[in-house]
Amino acid sequence: MIPAREALERLQAGNARFTAHLRSADEFVSHTRRPALTMVQEPFAIILGCSDARVPAELVFDQGLGDLFVIRVAGNIVARSQVGSVEFAAERFHTRLVVVLGHSQCGAIEATLEELRRPTENQSRNLSAIVERVRPSVEGLLGTDLARDPDALVKKATRANIKASVDHLRHGSEVLEHLIRENGLMIVGAEYAVETGVVEFFGEE
Residue 15: which of 70, 56, 74 has the closest Cα?
56
Q: Would you say residue 119 lies in a domain?
A: no
Q: Would you say residue 64 lies in a domain?
A: yes
pLDDT, position 187: 98
pLDDT, position 26: 62
Q: Would you say residue 136 lies in a domain?
A: no
Range of the domain at 15: 4-103+162-200
Q: What's 194's DSSP letter?
A: T
Q: What's 40's DSSP letter?
A: -
pLDDT, position 39: 77
Residue 201: which of 13, 58, 2 has the closest Cα?
13
Give all strands (DSSP E) within 84-137, no chain letters: 97-103
CATH number of residue 25's parent domain: 3.40.1050.10
Q: Would you say residue 117 lies in a domain?
A: no
pLDDT, position 23: 84
Task: Give me the tens of pLDDT residue by residue for the chain, a chain 205 residues long.
Answer: 899 999 999 999 999 999 999 987 665 556 677 777 777 789 999 999 999 999 999 999 999 999 999 999 999 999 999 999 999 999 999 999 999 999 999 999 999 999 988 888 778 889 889 999 999 999 999 989 998 999 999 999 999 999 999 999 999 999 999 999 999 999 999 999 999 999 999 987 5
pLDDT, position 203: 81
pLDDT, position 34: 77
Please, which residues have CB within 8 angstroms of residue 38's CB and are 6 or more apart in sequence? none
Report how far residue 66's alpha carbon sits from residue 94's, in angstroms, rounded to the nearest whole number.
14
CA 176, 180, 181, 183 dihedral sign is positive
Q: Would you say residue 16 lies in a domain?
A: yes
Q: Would you say residue 80 lies in a domain?
A: yes
Contacts by 171-177, CB closer than 8 A, 24 or more apart = 172/78, 172/83, 173/83, 173/86, 173/87, 175/87, 175/90, 175/91, 176/83, 176/86, 176/87, 176/90, 176/98
Q: Would you say residue 53 lies in a domain?
A: yes
Report how far residue 107's alpha carbon sits from residue 198's, in angstroms, rounded to the nearest whole number.
19
pLDDT, position 185: 98
Q: Would you say residue 11 lies in a domain?
A: yes
pLDDT, position 36: 76
Number of folded domains in the chain? Answer: 1
